[in-house]
Amino acid sequence: MKILERYFLKETFKHFTLSVIVITFVMMLDRLIDLLNIIIEKQLDVLTIISLFSLSMPFILALSVPIAVLNTSIMTFGRMAVDQELTAIKACGVNIYKVMIYMYIAAFLLAGGMAYFNDFILPETNHTLKNLMLKVTYRKPVNAIKPGIFTTFENISIYANDVIDDELHGIIIYNRESSSFPTTIAAKKGTIKIENNANSVQIDLYDGEMHEKDVQEQNKYQVRYFKHYTLIKNNLGFQIDNSPTNYRGDREMSSTQINELIESNKKNIERLDSEIKPLQDRLNELNSDSSIPDAELKAKKTQNIIKQKNAEKEEIKKTIRIHQVEKYKKYSLAFACFVFFLIGAPIGMMTKTSGIGMAFSVSAAIFLIFYVMIVGGEQLADGGHFSPALTMWLPNIIFLFIGIIVTYTSYKEKSLIDLDKLSNKISKLFSKISG
């Protein structure tokens, strides 16, 4: 039994290593095209190129490892079934699933390892990659501006009709950093360059005008004309030394950080509720007592404030849901490693396919269904239609149930599908159609 267990683990590990390499490479090809465009445009050095590829790898591994587990289990046990190894083992009176117990343990441990990877390592690499990509973007910021599209640098949005060499033409800029009313700048042409070790951006504008609204006296509107105007944005937070920025997106946070943010948002909701209650009482008083001076006008203003605070509360609730989805998705994708092994092993035994192409096709189809369910569930949960925990774990629950069924079917030695017969039937059908 010990020999068989080691043999099963050895064969599985061999196929798993090959699957991870091949699947990761295939998934990396799409990312490679985007990175090549950046490398050519920005003329990056070798160290930066290596960093971009290295930091892009963890996100791909988070997806490729579960697919590799599924592909490995189908390919390994399909090959054993075709070579009659499983038949020989059964003929010796050995229960295949007892021999596989260590493989189930290995799959479970891998799922635990991927949970740690998705929760701690992946957020940090995503955060570092974001900082590096922003630093690369600001290295030659004019390349980041596409004609006819608004591009945002912190609180500054830039639009250009055309980009010729390193010069912008037909420029419109919205600067929102000075007040709640954005300053609008229009210029015939301009240039952009970085300063202060990539931590500042300088925009030189020529032949234009600036439109500003007075914050104190909102009835006043000022227009200024200029031949040359320089706009400088400091403290971008994208230093060349890759020092981390304070802001993190949901995919750049661990579950602990997400929980802290959720608790902070819940306190904000409680604060808004405490602010809304007296306003609602005041609104009821204004609606019921018409003797109050300007009651109707005051009631309308109060109602608008309540609507604004309720809208703010709903936005915070949506943010909470988005972060909850990301937290549960980390563990759902990790646990899929165990679920996919539970499905793949019996499928390989019953389909009896030793071809790498067939194994890749079947595993890709199964994972595609799984991932579509994850993405669909994410949209439903973000919209507040279903619980984030339910939508993220439901694909695993469904596939776990399917895995139990196919495992039981395989244990009872029932045939799921004969791919050779199916292939012959399809070939005959095409022959008849072509003939």
For the stretch 75-88, pLDDT in tens is 999 889 888 898 89
The crossing angle, in degrees rounded to 10, of helices 46-82 and 122-139 is 140
358-371 pLDDT, tens digit each? 788 888 899 999 99
- DSSP, residue by residue, 273-326: HHHHHHHHHHHHHHHH-TTSTTHHHHHHHHHHHHHHHHHHHHHHHHHHHHHHHH
Residue 218 backbone dihedrals phi, psi, to 5 degrees: -70, -15
Least-confidence region, from 162-166, 258-262, 299-303: 162-166
pLDDT digits (tens, 9 = 90+) for 323-332: 999 999 999 9
When pLDDT is averaged across residues 24-53 and rounded to a whole number, the result is: 84
Residue range 29-37: average pLDDT?
83
> Which of 54-68, 234-248, 275-289, 405-419 is most confident?
54-68
Pairing of strands 183-195, 200-213: antiparallel
The pLDDT of residue 63 is above 80: yes
- The pLDDT of residue 290 is 74
Among 22-31, 240-249, 264-273, 318-327, the range scoring the smallest mean pLDDT is: 240-249
pLDDT in tens, 379-418: 999 888 999 999 999 999 999 999 999 888 887 766 555 5
pLDDT of residue 135: 75
Tell how far CA 152 is from the center of its chain.
21
98-107, 179-188, 308-317: which has the minimum mean pLDDT?
Answer: 179-188
- The confidence score (pLDDT) of residue 412 equals 76
Do residues 359 and 143 lie in contact, with contact meaning Cβ atoms separated by under 8 Å? no
pLDDT band at 291 (very low <50, low <70, confident <90, very high): confident
* pLDDT value, residue 329: 95
Model confidence at 176: pLDDT above 80: no
Where residue 237 falls among pLDDT bands split at 50, 70, 90? very low
**pLDDT of res. 206:** 92
pLDDT, tens digit, for every residue of 93-130?
888 888 899 999 999 999 999 999 999 999 999 999 98
Model pLDDT, residue 242: 43
In this prediction, residue 151 carries a pLDDT of: 80
Residue 70 confidence (pLDDT) above 50: yes
The distance between the two most distant Cα atoms of the chain, rounded to a whole number of Å, is: 97
Q: According to DSSP H, which parts of 352-418 are helical?
A: 356-382, 388-411
pLDDT recorded at residue 240: 41
pLDDT of 12 higher than 70: yes
**pLDDT the model gives residue 67:** 94
Helix, strand or coil for residue 375?
Answer: helix
pLDDT at 376 over 50: yes
Would strands 156-164 and 167-175 be described as parallel, antiparallel, or unpaired? Answer: antiparallel
Quote the tokens at residue 197: 């070790």
The order of strands in the sheet holding 156-164 is 151-153, 156-164, 167-175, 183-195, 200-213, 221-233
> At 103, is the secondary structure helix, strand, or coil?
helix
Q: What is the pLDDT of residue 289?
A: 80
Q: Per-residue pLDDT tens for 145-164?
A: 778 888 876 678 888 998 88
pLDDT of 154: 66
Structure tokens at 402: 């399917």
Write the CA distances from 293 to 72, 106, 278, 286, 290, integer angstroms.
Answer: 78, 76, 19, 9, 8
Residue 305 or 289, more confident: 305
**Tokens of residue 332, six digits:** 């759902």
> What value does the mean pLDDT take over residues 201-224?
80
Which residue has better confidence, 120 or 36? 120
Contact, 316 vs 268, CB < 8 A?
yes
Among 347, 402, 415, 338, smallest CA distance to 369 is for 402
- Please answer whether residues 240 and 231 qualify as being in contact, where contact means their C-beta atoms are separated by less than 8 angstroms: no
| 130 token code pair | 């974001």
Instruction: Say what the pLDDT of residue 265 is.
Output: 93
DSSP state of 66: H
4 φ/ψ angles, rounded to the nearest 5 degrees: -65, -40
pLDDT at residue number 250? 86
pLDDT of residue 39: 81
| DSSP result, 267-285 | HHHHHHHHHHHHHHHHHHH
- Spell out a b/e string for 142-176, using b for 16 or more CB atoms within 10 Å of the CB, else e: bbbbeeeeeeebeebebbbeeeeeeebebbebebe
pLDDT at 258: 95
Looking at residues 22-43, what average pLDDT do you find?
A: 84
> How far apart are the C-alpha atoms of 237 and 259, rounded to whole Å?
25
Q: What are phi and psi of 158, to 5 degrees?
A: -120, 135
Average pLDDT, the chain: 85
When pLDDT is cut at 50, 70 and 90, the band that residue 378 belongs to is very high
